[in-house]
Amino acid sequence: MSSPAFRDLLPPFPEPPLTIAVSECLTGAPVRYDGGHRASAWPRPALEGLYEVRPICPEVGIGLGVPRPPIRLVGAPASPRAVGVEDPSVDVSDRLRAYAGTRLPDLDDVDGYVFKARSPSCGLKGVALHADPQGPPVPEGTGLFAAEIASARPALPLEDGENLFEPGALESFVTRTFVHAFWRRTTAGGIDAARLIAFHSACKYLVMAHDASAYRRLGRLLADLSGNAETTGERYFEGLMRALAARPTRSSHTNVLQHLQGYLRGAIGAPDRRAVAAAIERYRNGEAALETPLHDLRWGLQKAGARYAFDQYYLHVPRVGPQAGATVPAGTAPRTAAS
């Protein structure tokens, strides 16, 4: 089988640990308004070994003490303000927004950001917003610091820590951070058309697992690279990050695994192909973790010399959570394969 050499144009896949920014109270630091922390508000143990964290507390950063009077969001959803709960004349909105700008350089070498959910400074979505100071809040706000970061870094993987307890969200976040790191390495010396297309090829099956239609959509974006590759590349990467934010499912993974299985046809023996097919079927039926067919496919594709398929980042990106399963050393034969 002929193999486009897209992998030769790209750097090695990134190895953990990556660096991510994290709301400081999630790290166990006692920086909350009440002098406490919220280390339990994200599944940090599940991410052990994957990341080094860079803690940031915007409220402490703008000079508010610990403990301090709490703040809340008030006003219209499009232009909320952060004011004191007890003394609404205390308004720290402008300071929080300006502080975000001062921290942007610290995000140049990070590959993700985990925020403390529902904070008027750090929450990404669903923060209590008091449109009517006398009425009940509506969960339609975004923390003022987080909103500035999201606006300034549209391609940076961001997530509220509490969302990461949901396995699909956790998998999506981890994947996005590693793709982000891969992109930073790929484009460190600038973006050119050949590496852009190579990067897109490497991410093909990863994208398909998250959003089946996005691969074609993103490919159309790259169809004409006669203009400014830098500008097209930035648009492409923002679109890629949006696609990978969609949660993969057992069904979408099965579809991708079966596509990759097709590269084994005629390239390895029937008993080995049956073993890989059985592993995919066990995963499809919920009887095996995703790592089981991934491991068997890596083994089979390497044996088959199917380089285009073996070099897909889908097969190598780190995976977490109970569905992912333990990593099996590369090169180990399928557990049910004939040898």
Positions in the binding site for ligand SF4 (CB under 6 A): 23-25, 31-32, 57-59, 116, 119, 121-122
| CA 63 to mean position of chain CA atoms | 31
Q: Side by side, which strands form the sheet with 81-84?
A: 81-84, 71-74, 127-130, 138-141
Residues of 75-93 as b/e, b for ≥16 C-beta within 10 angstroms? beeeebbbbeeeeeeeebb
Strands (E), the chain: 18-23, 51-56, 71-74, 81-84, 113-115, 127-130, 138-141, 158-160
Q: What is the nearest approach in angstroms of ligand SF4 to the Cβ of residue 109?
A: 20
Q: What is the nearest approach in angstroms of ligand SF4 to the Cβ of residue 26?
A: 7
Closer residue to ligand SF4 in complex, CB, 120/233: 120
Closer residue to ligand SF4 in complex, CB, 18/25: 25
Q: What is the nearest approach in angstroms of ligand SF4 to the Cβ of residue 153?
A: 17
Closer residue to ligand SF4 in complex, CB, 119/172: 119
Closer residue to ligand SF4 in complex, CB, 110/122: 122
Q: How far apart are CA 84 and CA 68, in angstroms?
A: 10
Tokens matching residue 115: 């925020």
Q: What is the nearest approach in angstroms of ligand SF4 to the Cβ of residue 16?
A: 24
Closer residue to ligand SF4 in complex, CB, 161/334: 161
Q: What is the nearest approach in angstroms of ligand SF4 to the Cβ of residue 147?
A: 13
| Phi, psi for residue 138 in degrees, rounded to 5 | -115, 145
Q: How far apart are CA 334 and CA 337, in angstroms?
A: 5
Closer residue to ligand SF4 in complex, CB, 44/195: 44
Contact present, 292 and 327 (Cβ < 8 Å): no
Q: What is the distance between the terminal CA atoms of the chain, rounded to a whole angstrom?
A: 23
Note if the bond before 77 is cis, omega within 30 degrees.
no
Angle CA(177)–CA(180)–CA(185) in degrees, nearest 5?
130
Are β-strands 81-84 and 71-74 bridged in parallel, bridged antiparallel, or unpaired?
antiparallel
Closer residue to ligand SF4 in complex, CB, 23/93: 23
Q: What is the nearest approach in angstroms of ligand SF4 to the Cβ of residue 23?
A: 4
Q: What is the nearest approach in angstroms of ligand SF4 to the Cβ of residue 66?
A: 8
